[in-house]
Amino acid sequence: MAKIKMLITTQGSSDGIRVTSYIANREYDVSNALAKSFISSKVAVASKGMQRKAVEIAPENKVIEIAPDNKEGIPEEMTATGKKEKVLDPEEIRVFQLADELGTSSKEILAIAKKLKIVVTRPISGITRNETDQIRAYALKRK
């Protein structure tokens, strides 16, 4: 296991099955393979014992500051390209990801969400686990 500090929010899988969201500016204990992948992709730096190695791999990495909250009160972060992105809670997934999981279109998921009075506007919008479960149950019931 290796301890890393995320520079930007990204997703990864240590076992190739479950995908986890890793939030910027937080530390995680991950497998050595996932740590090497994140460090070489320049989305994380190693903490403690691996720090020297991380600096050798990606010396230009710096901690990215969290931008002020947006109108909705959801924190944003600056990505490595300078764009602002909303930070997803690890329990949230994006509409398009749920659509892929259910084998349907994002447009269909947005329509179901609207029927269930769940406020989402775009396929990139994040939805909570509870909302995901509601949409999934409705979609499976319709099939």
The residue extents of the domains of the chain are: 2-86, 93-142
The pLDDT score that the predictor gives to residue 62 is 42
Stronger pLDDT, 53 or 3, i.e. the higher one: 3
- What is the bridge-based pairing of β-strands 27-30 and 2-6? antiparallel
Q: Is the pTM of this model over 0.75?
A: no
Contact 135, 112 (CB under 8 A): yes
Tell me the per-residue pLDDT of 54-79, one tens digit each, with 9 for 90 and over: 333 344 444 433 344 444 444 444 44
